[in-house]
Amino acid sequence: SSSAGAFALERARRAGIPAAVLPRRRFAAQEEYDGALLALLEKNGIGLVVLAGFLTFIGPRVVERYRNRIINVHPSLIPSFCGPGFYGLHVHEAALRRGVKVTGATVHFVNEVCDGGPIILQKAVEVLPGDTPQTLQRRVMEQAEWKLLPRAVALFCQ
């Protein structure tokens, strides 16, 4: 994880799954971070990288080495509300400002373009009257993200 407070680390600990924290701020340059990340992934024989709540930029060296083996879950129906600056509540704020009636989530492969990799799965979620960014975020997570991500991992592993 990029964050020591990520709940995924606790889940991994409970399940007996090794986990590591690699905060970007510990490295002066992107190239140093990418080198440390690659070393960590290769040391542990990682075949699939899942970015879920991982808000750290992945450099081109990592993307190239793990081409079509890094997946990301994004809280919108790409190509809407994606790219630089569109993460977390910012996505849902933008969707509500735009007045969309449907939003959702996308799982995609990561490439050199932010949120621009090939789409694996998408699921739509209705925007309800009175939604706030927080209520919409929660519903998108529960109805789409949490359902899509395990399916995408299963598809990859087949």
Q: What is the pLDDT of residues 80-95, one digit of tens each?
A: 999 999 999 999 999 9
Catalytic residue from among 74, 90, 92, 108: 74
Fold of 48-157: Rossmann fold (3.40.50)
Per-residue DSSP letters for the chain?
---TT-HHHHHHHHHT-------GGG-SSHHHHHHHHHHHHHHTT---EEESS--SPPPHHHHHHTTTSEEEEESS-TTSS-STT--THHHHHHHHHHT-SEEEEEEEE--SSTT-SPEEEEEEEEPPTT--HHHHHHHHIIIIIHHHHHHHHHHHH-
Query: Model pTM greater than 0.75?
Result: yes
* pLDDT tens sequence across 97-116: 999 999 999 999 999 999 99
Establish whether 74 is a catalytic residue: yes
* pLDDT tens sequence across 23-44: 999 999 999 999 999 999 999 9
